[in-house]
Chain A
Amino acid sequence: MPNNQDAKNGNAEKDLIDRIASGFVVESEEDMTAGYKKSLITQLMVQGDTELMSAPAYYLASKDAPTINSRIAVTAIIHDELGHANIAYRILEDLGVDKHWLVYGREPNQFKHPYGFDQPLEDWAEMVVANGFFDRAGITLLGDVLNNTSYGPLKRALVKVDREEILHLRHGESWMRRLAKAGGEAKDLLQRAVDWMFPMTLEWFGLPDGLKRHSGQLDYKLKGKTNDQLRQTWMEATVPLCEGIGIDVPAHYDDVAREFVLDYPFPCQYDPQEKRWDFDAPLSWDDVFQRWKARGPMNQRYTEMVQGDLGSIFGGRLW
């Protein structure tokens, strides 16, 4: 039998969920339950860390930009991403999480960004597919939050983020079209990038709905769509884009099921050194979580690039 405190907390949770379901917008900490605050903090950390870790990944790839215009575009995108990270961390600071600790106080494996941003982007094709696929995933996820979140400050903050992410996406997709049109080696490298980055992004959306543990994010309306719905939204944009420019993807639209279906076992084995998915080696989600937890090849380096030299005269201090 639950004690009184538990019963009281349970009532408060149910009460908040009911109020949110009928349109209540959470504005201050006083409006939150412990469960709501915990879910919100986790969501904001994933959001901020993903924006933050895209910056060093894009920075290293920006040197491969083939024109001065495209180099300026990528550095402007990096600037945006750092600004977006700052927005998420600023809100976290208002919820009592130390912003300086978030950026400078954590070990590389404590950041909560997706495994995709632990990978090196090694040529211009990979850079533009990152804009086309990873930033599309960002818009898919954050656009859903923008439309559905019950947390007022985040909804307002995402107006700027959403707007800027659309420009990143436009940059990525227009360059993907351009490389495909150029043909030859440029198109081959584009195909090679899509081959590892398409399944990488699909995995990013997480557990299929059938296996999903109850998280509260939907009950609290911190997001609106399920993982599988978000994956479909992402494919609705990316599959026709690739098909239209003669680039193969391991997914297609099924007229009977009336949704996109994958042409490989999901999830499956990934070799980060070779940047190759093994479609003959299906995995369990526990295996995937282990791979994510161990982090990918660039995790250490990207974190160092973000944190700088913490031991230097200027590093690691509260300026």
Chain B
Amino acid sequence: MSDKIYEVFARKNHDGALVHVGSLNASDDELAKAYAWTMYDEENWVEMCVVPRDAVIRVTHDRKIPLWGN
């Protein structure tokens, strides 16, 4: 698979938490942004971020809090 995996985070309200809403495949950051915006459009998010899965550093012990899935 040439695509990378990105985790998607979004904030619904200005006073709400940034939460994990899903994941996607994309070949670069720009496409990841476009795919996240079109795919996870279930809310009018006030903020949305994508993070390459590789960049996520787990604090709890390895693999017990997976960011994979959605």
Contacts and interface: CB of A to CB of B under 8 A. Distances in A.
A160 B1 contact: no
B2 A318 contact: yes
B45 interface: no
A91 B68 CA distance: 7
A153 B69 contact: yes
A156 B23 CA distance: 11
Interface string B46-70: 0000000000000000011110111
B65 A27 contact: yes
Given A83-B39, A153-B69, A27 B22 contact: no
Contacts of B66: 27-28, 94, 152-153
B13 interface: no
A94 B1 contact: no
Interface residues of A, number: 24
B22 A98 contact: no
Contacts of A98: 1
B70 A99 contact: no
B57 to A, nearest CB: 17
Given A27-B65, A90-B25, A318-B1, A156 B70 contact: yes
Nearest to B53: A94
Contacts of A123: none
A164 interface: yes
A86 interface: yes
Contact of A157 (B3, B64, B70): B70
Contacts of B63: 27-28, 30
Contacts of B40: 83, 160
A318 B3 CA distance: 8
Contact of A99 (B20, B25, B69): B25
Contacts of A318: 1-3
Contacts of A86: 24, 39
Interface of B: 1-3, 5, 20-25, 27, 38-40, 42, 63-66, 68-70
Given A90-B24, A160-B70, 16 more contacts: A28-B63, A83-B39, A86-B39, A90-B69, A93-B25, A152-B66, A152-B69, A153-B66, A153-B69, A153-B70, A154-B69, A156-B70, A157-B22, A318-B1, A318-B3, A319-B3
